[in-house]
Amino acid sequence: MEELSIKEKESKEKKLDSDDEIEEENKEENTNVEEISSNYENAKVHSPPSYLREALEWIATEKEKYEKFEAGLGAIENTVLRCMVAIVVGQPSQLAPYLAEAIFDRNIAVKQRYLITTVLVNAAKELAGVDQSAEKTMVNPYKEYDVMKPETSKGRDISLLIRILYTACELLTLAENSPSIIRITLSLTSSVESLRYHDDSSVREVVVAAYFAAATVLPEQCFIKANH
């Protein structure tokens, strides 16, 4: 009996030691998870550089510090975007049609065509007098209106089509006070008419958005005449 009691005691001690080890491992894992989460949060909130020279320096010297490198790269992209927008605002009648045609040029990279749509929208906002002072940076040209599609030629074409149509909807909304609003609206609605029964549901959703934008900007008199 005494021998059995000793064995039971040793078994209990081993179990306690095992529980202590598991608890210690859990503490270490929780600590690692907290550190990773903390680093991720810090990376997301890193403040951008104040000057372009500083941004260039970050890109050249801070490649190991991802959050600073990303902040520097974002600042440069935003600066380039602002310059492009300013140029279009300065000469809209000459540059806007040229850029609109470039969107459909297959010799231009898809990302650059996405960038063009963003430039057109932001330039239209400035010309329409939309207050953008609350925005620290302009809209990311590679994320706005993006719809995830398979990495195939057809998938990329559909994503770009959706991007273009949403851009057209926003440009129509911004042109609400234009004397040519009826002509612009008819141009958009006639362009999307053949897409109403498109196989892709995302395209059909954009068509609905286009008709909604048209109904929003057209004067009430247009609907009265149509009903008569």
Match 């081993």 to its residue by tokens: 14
Is residue 52 helix, strand or coil? helix
pLDDT in tens, the chain (228 residues): 544 455 555 555 555 455 555 555 555 555 554 554 445 444 454 677 776 777 778 777 766 677 777 777 778 888 888 889 999 999 999 999 999 999 999 899 888 899 999 999 999 999 998 876 655 444 443 344 444 454 556 677 889 999 999 999 999 999 999 999 999 999 999 999 999 999 999 999 999 999 999 999 988 777 765 555
The Cα–Cα gap between 2 and 147 comes to 74
Inter-residue contact 32 to 24 (CB < 8 Å): no
What pLDDT is attached to residue 147?
Answer: 45
pLDDT, tens digit, 9 for 90 and up, residues 94-133? 999 999 999 999 899 888 899 999 999 999 999 998 876 6
**Taking the CA atoms of the chain, what radius of gyration do you get in angstroms?**
29
Q: What is the DSSP letter of 195?
A: G
Exposed/middle/buried for residue 149 (C-beta within 10 Å: 0-12, 13-18, 19+): middle
Q: What ranges in 45-180 are assigned the alpha helix state H?
A: 52-61, 66-90, 92-102, 110-127, 153-174
